[in-house]
A and B are shown apart, each in its own frame.
Chain A
Amino acid sequence: MSIKIENLTHIYNPSSPFETTALDNISFEVTEGEFIGLIGHTGSGKSTLIQHLNGLLKPTKGKILINQVDITSKDVKLQDIRKNVGLVFQYPEHQLFEETVYKDIAFGPANLGLNEEEIKARVVEAMDLVRLPFQELRDRSPFELSGGQRRRVAIAGVLAMKPNILILDEPTAGLDPKGRDEILEQIKSLHQQVQNTVILVSHSMEDIAKLVDRIIVMHKGKVSLIGKPTQVFKEVEVLESIGLGIPQITYLMKMLKENNIKLREDILTIEEAKAEIINWIRGNKNA
């Protein structure tokens, strides 16, 4: 499913002393099946933006088109939007509430009015996607699981709705490196399997560099940069001036260039850097 944002503005507490413009006339498009990284420091408008995408917030001005349908128009049912656009909040495990893992994940599908069989099939599938053993955990209370497992139960609850667009707001915050890698791997493999549209909000430039097709950088309610990771991470000065960084490895390549070692600058991962440096060293020896 595609997303098109046109001149979107959102003002909190309008005409009061607390008036704040959280989104300031932004426009961009996301094509079907794209994997987007959304970055920006706290207060840049990221969360406000994603809450518009499934109708939790209404724009002050502007349009949001999901598959060419304007979701701000009055005749669109919110339920239809939310069936298509799945939103995983920050710390989603705080929203677990049921007695068992099964019931918690089944809550969304049950509200779609599906029959028991279909609900069960969806819970099984969603748990499989996030690598939670169905038989072992189905009757356990979500509250006795580890932090990483609880987070995966919460994500499974959204996946069980089979959204065409999956939006995740810092899904790895507070997890240890292993938990982080597992969750990102699962998001990536799901994306490869079903070609869903994914929007990932993250503070980790390393994770963004590894995963996404395009990056949207937000600053003070505006889109300040948009493009492929190699293009966006070239803009070190812009990113640093708005409190963001680039992956350490990209920074290393830039520093090497400044020291007259001629290497490609558009390098985002350790593997690429390794190949490039080895080439350079072997080239030196042959020269």
Chain B
Amino acid sequence: MPKLHIRTEINGEPAEFLAEPHQTLLDALRNELGLTGTKEGCGTGDCGACSVTFDGQLVCSCLVLAAEAEGARIGTVEGLASGEALHPLQQKFLEHAALQCGVCTPGFLVAAKALLDRNPDPDERTVRYALAGNLCRCTGYDKIIRAVLDAAAELRGEPA
């Protein structure tokens, strides 16, 4: 079976790659495209470390076939920062020490951005449920939740 030629858009830029029909998008991002910011923690959709957006929809890239990316828009952690400036979520994660080992961080950032894009003013409970698909074993989530709430406030233009 020849590989599939996939044309897609990743973080706003056109991208092409070859994929096996059974290959996951996560595998293609990491091993075909060298975008290793998206992490694999379980491969079964249970940890959220591989979170990306697919046509604007938050998904686990381990549960998406690479072939599905044909004609789609993919967003990964590598696309969050613009030029030299970190996204406010990234900045707040750093300020609040919301990462310890940091391996879950890309997935949390992508998921948190998806939340804030549709709900700019979530309360703590909403943030906790929206991020329930992202496992963190280091922080106990406290500082992550604070960072997301703080980033939301900043994005709304409220004084800290």
Chain A partners chain B: no
Chain A interfacial positions (CB closer than 8 Å to B): none
Chain B contacts to A: CB under 8 angstroms: none
